[in-house]
Amino acid sequence: MSHSNTGSSARPAPRMEAEHYFRFRCAPGLDCFTQCCRDVNIVLTPYDLLRLKNALAIDSNEFIEKYAIVLSKENRLIPLVFLKMREDDKQCPFVTEQGCTVYENRPWACRMFPLDAAEDGTFYLITDSSRCKGLDEPMTRQIGEWLVEQGVVPYDEMNQLLTTITAPLKAQNLDIDNPDIAKMIFMCLYNLDKFRDFIFKSSFLSRFELDPLRIEKIKRSDLELLKFAFDWIKFGIFGEKLFKVKQPASDVKKA
């Protein structure tokens, strides 16, 4: 079992593999219950936002206005989106004394706590037992099994798809100064309801050849729509041949 109690030292936390065990149990009754949900920066992925806005039965736009902070950076096409904490006590807006009110749809970062994932695929503790009493609990958990129990797998799968966009953007350092492109990318990733309107209420479907089954899927499923958004960005930004432009009727007649 690997266990880190770094306290205030600057030593890096030991890295653990998925087969390693660690001590942890979180439950009402612990002195620190819900304290990890206060005064923290929780980055929301597109899939996080999708799950949360559906759990709250509101659209993407309303969620962004009420619960998100969007930080744009120069030369960065995809902004950082943070969960907005309550102003009075810096607490997560979805947490009560009894616990998380959106637990089944909580973000990836919340599912991972008290762990985080390193780029090399290992894991490490992001807190210690002075702040998280759950790390002193006798229950031991294997990391891989625990992550499956926490429902991390579908989040990881969607984050991997997101990486197929973010990694090339970092590598290519694209010089795109058109603000409309940045707005389009943000809409595709974080404002799915607006993106769906763009597809079905503009000339989009008359301009591109799409499989009717896929059209039906993205009409009904936010998950399929987000996957479609990833492809649309790859097509529009990286020029991947994922969509076929319909031949204008006039061109067909000439042929």
Q: Across the 255 residues of the chain, what is the mean pLDDT of every consecutive 10-residue run?
A: 37 86 90 89 96 97 96 82 94 92 96 93 92 90 95 96 88 67 92 96 94 96 97 91 78 38
What mean pLDDT, rounded, does the chain reach?
A: 88
Q: Is 44 helix (H, G, I), strand (E, B) or coil?
A: coil
Residue 29: its pLDDT value, please?
A: 86
Helix (H) or strand (E) holding 204: helix 204-207
**pLDDT in the model for residue 169:** 80
The rounded distance, in Å, linking the Cα atoms of 121 and 100 is 28
User: Could you tell me the CA-to-CA distances from 236 to 165, 215, 243, 247 in Å, in that order?
Assistant: 11, 19, 10, 18
Q: What is the pLDDT of residues 100-128, one digit of tens each?
A: 999 999 999 999 999 999 989 999 999 99
* Predicted structure pTM score: 0.87
Query: How far, rounded to the nearest angstrom, does the alpha carbon of residue 221 sit from its chain's CA centroid?
Result: 17
Q: 229: closest CA among 181, 201, 176, 191?
A: 191
Residues 6+ positions from 211 with CB-CB distance below 8 Å = none
